[in-house]
Amino acid sequence: MAEIQLSTPQKRKLRSNSTPSPMQSSSAKWKSPRRCVKDCPKSPVKMQGNFGDKTINMTKSPVKKRLPESFLQKPMWNPRDVEQLNAVKEALHVSTPPATATVVCREVEYNRVLDFCKQSVEQDKAGSLYICGCPGTGKSLSIEKVKEVLVNWANESALQTPDLLSLSCTSLSNTSDIFGKILDKIHPRRKANGSMSPLQYLQKMSSQKQQSTGRKMMLIIADEMDYLITKDRTVLHDLFILTTFPFSRFILIGIANAIDLADRFLPKLQSLNCKPAVITYRAYSKDQIIPILQQRLEAFPYTVFQPQALELCARKVASASGDMRKALSVCRSAIEMLEGEIRDSIYSLQLPSLKMRLSDQQRGGACDKSPIQESGVVRVDHVAIALSKAYKSPVVDTIQSLPQHQQIILCSALKLFRGKKKDATIGELNISYVDVCKSTLIPPVGIMELSNMCRVLGDQGILKVGQAREDKLRRVTLKVDEADITFALQGIRLFRNYLQQL
């Protein structure tokens, strides 16, 4: 029979000097390729002879919960390295602009703003745009990118580059001072004229052709525009009306948090047929926050966060406010939690050495373990602590202060209601409760005591317990958000691993 040779990364050889045959007795100590692969799943099996020369990678079937491939490909970072630590903190700082051509998860809104500005510059046409949305939704970041791209586009297209004026309305001591800021940008050395206010001067310039001939277009970006709202709303009206004069050279972009400001405070503009176009920035969702965080970290050649930790941060921030600034702040705070752990017990967070891995191999368990040990990354419990500081919730505080078995009941309910099912009987809850107790090696209580604890949780407003002739038939429903239960129990070591498997 054709010779079969086995090669592994350890270059192990068969003990027998003679060529083994699969038809011989078991005393020949012949190992099949299947058995060798089971011993080490990453070992390639090279087969020769009648099979031809080919290398076949045979691996064990994947475990139930595997880390993402991108997580496994990168080495683990060293949080004790000051340079690495500062670089990651800098990347997660709110003031650090992302290194991308557009704003991640805001491409549609960004392109609408950019197209509006390009069209106004190309056609020498004044206009106004109102951008609204909750704080931390990418409004200011989009505008900064638009300004940069607009200047480059004008130069490449051989068009006259517009003047840029960016100001925060909160910095104005008087709301009408905004017209003086605009005039100073046009005529920096203009002497004050007591007979004419800055607004009147701007209106005169925009009404006469000879005054506007040869003057550049000006892009005015007024951030925090809702600070200009006065009792008679005159300043807001006059600012937007400036873009409607026949020879106006102003492109106005107003930014504010109030979504309905254009409808509530600018009805006069509607009657003048010059109501600004409105672009709304919605709050970030969980599926948007995760790629934004990943984009900030992808430049590093090492893994910083446990994937489940980023997911927990994104889920909680999205459910609370959708504020990306809050998500970045939570991530930086979680890194500081890891720093504190290292200072308190540096030995417990040392990276696995080669000697430890070799000792694991001698015990025969090296092939079944993940190639990355996660003790050096920011874990779920770090993020949970950071979130608890950022969001003080009475529900979370209540769950974290409950006795252990009541917390197990909530964990069991979480497992039971993870699908479309939203209620269950106490008997069904008891089966799930016993399973959790077995997995955590805690002796369960009886169903009568379980029913009493459910009643206590009902009195605290966490569960809703229905009525029935028998206790085990009473139906139970969660009255709090599942995310609050997950968030509250993630920081407790007993439930951490179990919740990650749900």
> CA 88, CA 406: separation in Å to the nearest integer?
39
Q: Secondary structure of the chain: what % helix, strand, coil (to 5)?
A: 50, 10, 40
Q: Which candidate, 210, 267, 274, places its Cα nearest to that of 240? A: 274
Distance separating alpha carbons of residues 41 and 191, to the nearest angstrom: 81
CB 305 within 8 A of CB 378: yes
Could you tell me where the DSSP H helices lie in 277-323? 286-297, 307-320
Rounded to an integer, the average pLDDT of 75-100 is 87
For helices 324-344 and 82-91, angle between their N-to-C axes, nearest 10 degrees: 160
pLDDT at 354 over 60: no
What confidence score (pLDDT) does residue 194 get? 66
Identify the bridge partners of residue 454 per DSSP, sorted by sequence position. none
Backbone angles phi, psi at 471, to 5 degrees: -60, -40
pLDDT of 429 over the 70 cut: yes
Q: Look up the pTM and report it.
A: 0.64
Mean pLDDT of the region 120-129? 94
Is the pLDDT at 21 greater than 70? The verdict is no
Per-residue confidence (pLDDT) for residue 266, from 0 to 100: 66
What is the mean predicted confidence (pLDDT) over 290-310?
Answer: 93
DSSP letters, 194-215, are TTS-HHHHHHHHHH-HHHHTTP
How many CB atoms sit inside 10 A of residue 367's CB? 16
Q: Which residue has the higher pLDDT, 198 or 193?
A: 198
Residue type, 31: K
310-315: average pLDDT: 94
pLDDT tens digits along 459-493: 889 999 998 888 889 999 999 888 788 878 877 77
Query: What count of residues does the chain have?
Result: 502
Read off the pLDDT of each residue in 219-231 and give the average, rounded to a whole number: 87
